[in-house]
């Protein structure tokens, strides 16, 4: 890894600012002063220090966000604010990406990381990772809907979904439910309810596999995963 990229990623400034540190002889590699920003180093095997303090190398970041509505699940967009825009520059330096997508108006749990292997494992259809959602529904949700979802429903484009587990919290003209699905088709929860003649008016993701939303996080807030949370994901 290039020395300037390492130091920028670890929060020592932009690459331009890192070059200033190098000119000031503030950076050493295995005890030797280094001025070449393009020098390749192995931070796991070499001692890279800034002003005498060893640089603690972090390869991957794992961030849980309570995604707010109106923000899109993407790394960049010309028109809308993205979930990456909400992150501190320290995290942005790792060039992370959201694991899966939540619709623009959907809230709740979103995992953001730069670990491609973990992302693949969580999103692969073969892994059958359960995702729980809370939703408000315009219409009376019934036992017949529970049975229909348990068999999978046919969407407007002819696709038949995998079985989902539907729990009715309240049933009336405005119903409240929780739903578990193991897929992530475009607008899937909304389209599943449309298939049974109802409309989703509010949607929030509660969990993804063993990872549950930290309800103390306000909309737009985020934190790094705990060691226990990360271990539960990596064990899958």
Q: Which CATH class is domain 130-208?
A: alpha beta
Confidence of residue 83 (pLDDT cuts 50, 70, 90): very high
Spatial contact of 214 and 228, defined as CB atoms under 8 Å apart: no
Q: Which CATH class is domain 3-54?
A: alpha beta
Which of 65, 55, 48 has its CA nearest to residue 10? 55
Stretch 150-160: mean pLDDT: 96
Extents of the domains making up the chain: 3-54, 62-125+211-234, 130-208
Q: Which CATH class is domain 62-125+211-234?
A: alpha beta
Enzyme catalytic residues = 103
Judge whether 3-54 and 130-208 match in fold.
Answer: no
Tokens of 199: 């409309």
Q: Which contiguous run of DSSP H or E holds residue 155?
A: none
Express each pLDDT in 84-119 by its tens digit. 999 998 899 899 999 988 999 999 999 999 999 999
pLDDT of residue 125: 80
Q: What is the mean pLDDT of the chain?
A: 95
* DSSP sequence for 16-65: HHHHHHHHTT-EEETTEE---TT-B--TTTS-EEETTEEP------EEEE
């Amino acid at each position: 890894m290039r020395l300037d990229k390492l130091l920028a990623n670890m929060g020592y400034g932009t690459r331009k600012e890192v070059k200033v540190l190098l000119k000031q002889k503030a950076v050493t590699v295995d005890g030797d002063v280094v001025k070449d920003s393009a020098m390749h180093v192995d931070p796991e095997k070499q001692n890279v220090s800034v002003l005498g303090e060893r640089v603690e190398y972090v390869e991957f970041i794992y961030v849980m966000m309570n995604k707010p509505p109106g923000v899109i699940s993407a790394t960049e967009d010309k028109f809308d604010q993205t979930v990456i825009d909400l992150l501190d520059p320290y995290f942005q330096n790792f060039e992370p990406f959201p694991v899966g997508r939540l619709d623009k108006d959907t809230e709740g749990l979103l995992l953001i990381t730069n670990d491609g292997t973990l992302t693949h494992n969580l999103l692969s259809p073969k892994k059958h990772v359960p995702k729980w959602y809370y939703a408000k529904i315009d219409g009376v949700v019934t036992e017949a809907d529970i049975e229909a979802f348990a068999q999978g429903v046919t969407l407007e484009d002819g696709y038949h979904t995998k079985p989902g587990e539907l729990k009715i919290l309240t049933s009336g003209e405005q119903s409240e439910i929780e739903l578990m699905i193991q897929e992530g088709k475009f607008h899937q929860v909304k389209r599943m309810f449309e298939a049974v003649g109802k409309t989703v008016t509010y949607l929030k993701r509660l969990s993804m596999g063993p990872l549950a939303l930290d309800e103390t996080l306000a909309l737009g807030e985020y934190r790094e995963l705990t060691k226990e949370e990360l271990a539960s994901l990596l064990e899958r």
